[in-house]
Structure 1
Amino acid sequence: MPRSLSIGEFARLTHVSVRTLRRYHEAGLLVPDDVDEHTGYHYYAAAQIPTAQVIHRLRELDVPLATVRRILDASATDTRSELVSEHLHRLEAELDRTRAAVRSLRRLLAPEPAPVEVEVRSVPRTTVAAVEDDVELDDVLGWYAGAMAELDATLGDPRGTPGGVYDNALFELGRGHVLVHRPCVEPPTRGRVHPVELPAVELAVATHVGDHDDIDVTYGEVGAWVVANALSVAGPVRETYVLGPRDTDDPAQWRTEIGWPVFAVTDLGES
């Protein structure tokens, strides 16, 4: 009969500290093979070594205790793999958000940030095929993907630079009107797709380079330029997707034009 391992021996073999093993016991994740009723000493079986190491790896990945227990209790390998994969996907999403935040901070904290290039551009009245709705700010990306897919499916030929019009309330209140569009000579009315006439407008335009994780920084830079040049924002912001996910999988190649509708501020001090 194989001998039992003391908690100290088990800790050395698994590289899991005695304190951590006691926590696993308290949480019901790894119960000792035997506990001496007189001394209270904990003893483990050699067969428990892989279990201890699996738990330790999962906890290093910040898998919640409840999920660790579900993984250990799952009898099917596929179920275990699915539970681990779900958590890894969440970790990857969190890592992407962390990387995006780091990029934004580096850009904001640069000692001499590159000046944004802004031009004032006259945009004529334009008829487009559009999908529009009131959307929560947190849901914009998902809604945009669905709306653009519907436009592409309805219009067929993917040529023509798409764009979006974003109501000020979206940013101020967290919910607002969003319209995405594609140029079209005779826009159809089908499903959510319908013709819309975008009014002529003067835009202060700058190009955001890369993915949209730090697009708010470019928004801020354009806004600062508008203020510095004695202009005022006069309507919903427009975005033009010169190059985006529909064109390339490389976010570094993406180019998004941000256009603030503007007008000159009258100097009331002048007679």
Structure 2
Amino acid sequence: MAALLSIGDFSRLTHVSVKALRHYHDLDLLRPARIDPSSGYRFYATAQGPTAQLIRRFRDLGMPLDQVRVVLNATDPTVRDQVIADHLRSMERQLEQTQTAVASLRQLLEGGGSPSPDVAFHTLTGTPALVVSARVAWDEAFEWLPDTLAGLRRDLGSDAGLRGGPDGALYSAEFFESHVGEVTAFIPLDASAGHVGGRLPEGPVAVAVHRGSLSELDRTYTALGGFVAEQGLGSRTRTAIQENYLVSRFDTKDEHGLVTEVCWPVLSTRGEEES
């Protein structure tokens, strides 16, 4: 006969807190073997120890509880292994982001501020484009944008010959200021496409090219925005900033191989403008 333990004893046995055990019970993730009908006290079987430790291991790895539930309840090992593999890949991406952030922080602390920008000047002509706009939260943008651009690529389909340039996005002032605001994903079209979907903004811009991870893109923004201010070019602050993805995640899996063009709207280019 399996021995039953109080929730406190089971907590000590498994190193899972009483609070967590109660939460797992509420979620029907790990039910007590017995609940006293009069006192409501929870009792756990010693045989439940390995399950509690599995949950703790997965939680230590940051796996969401809904995924833990899938793993524990899976009757098909393929389903279980796929959930675990997906989570491990997610952890690897987070590790890469952490390593990039640490390297960037060290560079900043060692005096490696924003790079001196190599700035060009252009006038955007308001070309036709396939566009999708949405109100997007800052933390959701990195998932929303590639998913939306992938959808636009599917919509373009066999008409890829109408493409007029690289994928891109427009970011509203509110998006930066409030970390939630309008973001527009777009694929520019050749002028022969006529009016299809929408048109991109027009007007003079100062342009800088960022090479490398998008997590470092803020440094190019700081350099370019600072240059615009210091040169007295006048910034159209309520006009969306445009990013053109010259080499995107659709082209390379190497974060360091990404190439992003940042177009900062200005009032004047002091006669240095190029078409």
Report the TM-score range of the alignment, normalised by the length of the smaller protein. Answer: 0.5 to 0.7
* CA apart distance, 1:84: 2.7
* Cross-structure match for 1:149: 153
Q: How does 1:1-271 map to 2 (within 5 A)?
A: 21-23=13-15, 27=21, 58=58, 61-63=61-63, 71=71, 74=74, 76-113=76-113, 115-138=115-138, 139-141=140-142, 142-143=144-145, 144-150=148-154, 152-153=156-157, 155-157=159-161, 160-173=165-178, 174-187=180-193, 193-196=196-199, 198-201=201-204, 203-234=205-236, 235-263=239-267
* Structure 1 residue identity aligned to 2:214: H
Larger mean CA deviation between 208-217 and 155-164 belongs to: 155-164
2:267 is paired with a residue whose SS is strand
* Cross-structure match for 2:35: none
Contact 1:118 1:225 in 2 (8 A): no
* CA apart distance, 1:52: 9.2
Distance, in Å, in 2 between the alignment partners of 1:169 and 1:86 is 34
Distance, in Å, in 1 between the alignment partners of 2:172 and 2:201 is 13
The change in CA–CA distance for 1:171 and 1:125 in structure 2 (over 3 A counts) is same
TM-score, normalized by length of structure 2? Answer: 0.64
Contact 2:122 2:207 in 1 (8 A): no
1:161-219 residue CA offsets vs partner (Å, 9 max, x unmatched)? 33333222222231125252324122256xxx525264232x22111111312212221
The change in CA–CA distance for 1:217 and 1:154 in structure 2 (over 3 A counts) is farther
Contact 1:151 1:182 in 2 (8 A): no
Contact 2:14 2:49 in 1 (8 A): no
* Cross-structure match for 1:40: none
Contact 2:115 2:220 in 1 (8 A): no
The change in CA–CA distance for 1:253 and 1:198 in structure 2 (over 3 A counts) is same
Give aligned-pair identity as a percent.
27
Contact 1:104 1:217 in 2 (8 A): no
The change in CA–CA distance for 1:73 and 1:245 in structure 2 (over 3 A counts) is closer
Distance, in Å, in 2 between the alignment partners of 1:66 and 1:200 is 48
* CA apart distance, 1:260: 0.8
Distance, in Å, in 1 between the alignment partners of 2:66 and 2:125 is 57
Distance, in Å, in 1 between the alignment partners of 2:243 and 2:255 is 17
Distance, in Å, in 1 between the alignment partners of 2:66 and 2:133 is 39
Q: How many residues align?
A: 237
1:242 is paired with a residue whose SS is strand
Structure 1 unmatched ranges of 5 or more? 1-18, 32-43, 266-271
* CA apart distance, 1:227: 1.9
